[in-house]
């Protein structure tokens, strides 16, 4: 591979954190609950390798760190999330969904339901490579059953695919930045935006079992309790499970001014206080007396 493509802005060192900080500073809202992403990879040997590195990296941003917060900022059906006259290009959400639901699963998952492989091949051929065929003045290639597409695409075509993904991702990054800059022009409306952001059901649902589970399991281990108890904290059939209280606390913390990274730290503290027994005062006094840890 002659030259490694520039990573998407989301995957470049410090860019994700910088964007989230600017969103919060200008609007009081955010797109990512965490920003400690680090892409560790050797220089790929091919553009196909680059594809296999960039797609999972973007998935971790769009799905793992964004939860449902990013989806809210791209919501143009609820006009309250967009400044006056500001529109969300349709292809940005399409790009996010494609990375999450089409490209990444076919790289990182074993997929027994082969129609998903067909969906992947069709997306590559009919969407990503269609402009390539048009530019070259050649007829689109016809692919048979999986993995005929992977076996037929050449390096030039993989480069074209990768750079289209990078360009779409960078457009999404810049859109979010411009969104915050535009909102900054309407300071009197920002308090309502923040309230609407926290009141949306997608805000609380972002703090779901997927996000809470690692914390719960770590706390159960610390408390020497069975990991089988974990599900008890998420079972909300009657809206009485502890996770419902945790989610409400997250809304309070956010409205009190907590930044995204502080929110996650608060979530850890809240869960730990509920699961891990607090030492009694006498034990603490003894420990302090003898300068014990």
pLDDT at 288 (0 to 100): 53
As to burial, measured by CB atoms within 10 angstroms (0-12 exposed, 13-18 middle, 19+ buried), residue 17 is middle
Closest CA to 31 of 3, 73, 87, 93: 73
Q: How far apart are CA 65 and CA 57, in angstroms?
A: 11
pLDDT on residue 37: 74
The answer to whether 216 and 230 have CB atoms below 8 angstroms apart is yes
**Overall pTM surpassing 0.85 (yes/no):** yes
Q: Which of 91, 55, 88, 61 is nearest to 72 (CA)?
A: 88
Could you say which residues of the chain have pLDDT below 50? 281, 286, 289-290, 292-293
**Coil, strand or helix: which one is 238?**
coil
Rounded Cα distance, 196 and 9, in Å: 28
Distance of alpha carbon 287 from alpha carbon 285, whole angstroms: 5
DSSP conformation class of 188: G
Average pLDDT, the chain: 88
d(CA 246, CA 204): 9
| Best CA proximity match to 182, nearest among 27, 14, 6, 19 | 27
For 89-123, letters b (16+ CB in 10 Å) and e give: eeebbebbebbbebbbbbeeeeeeeeebbebbbeb
Tokens 């996770």 locate to 243
- What pLDDT does 290 receive? 44
Residue 68: predicted pLDDT? 97
Peptide bond into 77 cis (omega under 30): no
Residue-range domain boundaries for the chain: 9-187, 207-276
Of 16, 62, 71, the closest CA to residue 38 belongs to 16
CB-based contact 170:178 (threshold 8 Å): no
């Amino acid at each position: 591979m002659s030259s490694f493509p520039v990573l998407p802005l989301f995957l470049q060192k410090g860019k994700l954190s910088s964007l989230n900080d600017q969103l919060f500073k200008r609007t009081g809202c955010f797109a990512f609950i965490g920003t400690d992403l680090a892409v560790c990879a050797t220089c790929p040997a091919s553009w196909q390798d680059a594809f296999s590195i960039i797609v999972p990296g973007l998935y971790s941003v769009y799905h793992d760190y964004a939860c449902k917060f990013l989806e809210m900022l791209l919501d143009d059906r609820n006009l309250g999330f967009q400044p006056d006259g500001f529109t969300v290009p349709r292809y940005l959400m399409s790009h996010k969904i494609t990375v999450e639901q089409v490209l990444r699963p076919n790289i990182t998952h074993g997929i027994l339901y082969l129609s998903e492989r067909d969906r992947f091949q069709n997306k590559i051929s009919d969407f990503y490579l269609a402009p390539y065929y048009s530019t070259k003045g050649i007829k689109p290639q016809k692919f048979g059953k999986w993995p005929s597409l992977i076996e037929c695409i050449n390096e030039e075509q993989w480069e074209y695919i990768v750079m289209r993904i990078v360009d779409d991702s960078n457009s999404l990054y810049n859109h979010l930045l411009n969104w915050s800059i535009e909102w900054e022009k309407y300071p009197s409306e920002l308090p309502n935006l923040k309230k609407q952001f926290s009141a949306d059901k997608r805000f609380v649902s972002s703090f779901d079992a997927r996000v809470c589970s690692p914390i719960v399991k770590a706390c159960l281990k610390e408390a020497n309790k069975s990991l089988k108890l974990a599900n008890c904290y998420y079972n909300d059939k009657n809206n009485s499970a502890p996770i419902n209280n945790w989610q409400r606390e997250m809304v309070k913390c956010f409205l009190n001014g907590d930044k995204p990274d502080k929110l996650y730290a608060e979530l850890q503290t809240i869960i730990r206080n509920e699961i891990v027994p607090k030492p009694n005062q006498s034990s603490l006094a003894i420990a302090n007396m003898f300068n014990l840890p």
